Amino acid sequence: MAGDKLTTTEYIKHHLQNLTFGRHADGSWGLAHTPQEAKEMGFWAIHLDTMFWSVILGVLFLWLFGKAAKSATSDTPSGMVNFVEWIVEFIDDNVRGSFTGKNDLVAPLALTLFVWILLQNTMDLVPVDWIPQIAHLLGIQYMKVVPTTDPNATFGMSFGVFYLMIHYSFKIKKPLGFARELTMQPFQAKNPLLQLLFMPVNLFLEGIGLLAKPVSLSLRLFGNLFAGEMIFILIALLFSGGLIFGLLGGVLQWAWAVFHILIVLLQAFIFMTLTVVYLEMAHQEH
C-alpha cells in the first residue's frame, strides 16, 4: 500500500486517520470520506475502528480468562491456565504492595485494565498494512487497529479512573473531609485568618494536581503508543524504495518490534499501577 497510489504524505495521513461516523455539514449522518469531513463532524463523531477493536479485544480478554477459569482443576494446570494464574498472581501482588485500603473492586479493575490495555497495545505489533489492506478490499477506507493510539480511548479510560477517584474520595472522606484535603494543604498556618487566606491558593494548587491525574494518565499512554505507531509507518515506507531500502526496512521493523514489546508491556503496567496508586490516595487521609 505504501507505494501503490499514495504519496508519502498521503500514506502517513491515511494510516493516522480513524474510520469516523458522524453528522455531515449538510445535516446527514454517515462515514467521513476525508480527514476534513471527520474534523467537521465535531465532538459527537464516533471512531468506529477504535470502538470495534476495543470491544473485540475486551471480549477476547473475557473469553480467554473465562475459559481458563472453567478449565482450572486441582491437577497440574495446562499452559493457558498456568499463564492466566501467573497474570492474576502478578496483579494481586502489585495491588497488595500499593493499596492498603479495603476495596474488592481494585484488584479486578487492575487486572482488567492491565490485560485490556496490553491487548490493545499489542495490536501495534501487527504490520501496519495488513489489516488496513484487508479493510480496503472490503470497501472500508480507513482502519486504525491500535485503540490506544486514539486519545478518545485513552481519555475514556482515564476519566473512568478519575470518576472512581472522586467517588471514593467522597465516600471515604465525606464531602467535608475531601474539601479540607483540597483547601488545607500544602500551605498551613495556626492563625485562622491566615489559613483562610491560604485556602484559595491551596484549592488552586490541589485542584490542578487533581485534574492533572487523568490528563497525564491518558496522554502518557497515547503519546508512547502513537509514537511507536508513527515509527512503524515510517519504516513501512522503506519497502516502496527498492530492494536495498526494503531489506533495511525489514531489519528496522524487526528491531523496533522487539524494542516496542517493552513499551507495550510497560505502558499497560504503568496505567494499571497509577490507577491503583490514585485509588489508594482516594482512600487515605493526607
Give the tens place of pLDDT for each residue, 177-219.
999 999 998 888 888 899 899 999 999 999 999 999 999 999 9
C-beta of residue 131 within 8 angstroms of C-beta of residue 145: yes
Q: Which residue among the candidates 54, 169, 218, 224 is catalytic per the annotation?
A: 224
* Any domain includes 2: no
Active site residue 220: yes
What one-letter code names the amino acid at 132? P
* Any domain includes 3: no
* Any domain includes 1: no
Question: Residue 233 is part of which domain span?
Answer: 8-283
Q: Which residue among the candidates 103, 180, 220, 240 is catalytic per the annotation?
A: 220
**Would you give the DSSP letter of residue 3?**
T
Taking each helix axis from N to C terminus, what angle separates 106-122 and 243-283, rounded to the nearest 10 degrees? 170
* Any domain includes 152: yes
Please tell me the predicted confidence (pLDDT) of residue 192.
87
Please tell me the predicted confidence (pLDDT) of residue 156.
96
Please tell me the predicted confidence (pLDDT) of residue 76.
67
* Any domain includes 191: yes
Whose cell is 526496512? That residue is: 249
Active site residue 224: yes
Please tell me the predicted confidence (pLDDT) of residue 284.
86
Q: Give the residue ranges of the chain where pLDDT is below 50.
A: 2-3
Please tell me the predicted confidence (pLDDT) of residue 164.
97
Distances (CA, A) of 140 to 15, 85, 89, 150: 13, 39, 41, 18
Q: Is the dihedral of CA 96, 98, 101, 104 positive or negative?
A: negative
Domain count for the chain, please give it. 1
Please tell me the predicted confidence (pLDDT) of residue 37.
94
What one-letter code names the amino acid at 244? I
Whose cell is 485534574? That residue is: 211
Please tell me the predicted confidence (pLDDT) of residue 4.
53
**Residue 23 β-bridge partners:** 29
- Name the strand (E) or helix (H) holding 31: strand 29-31
| d(C-alpha 141, C-alpha 1), whole Å | 12
Q: Is the dihedral of CA 221, 223, 226, 231 positive or negative?
A: negative
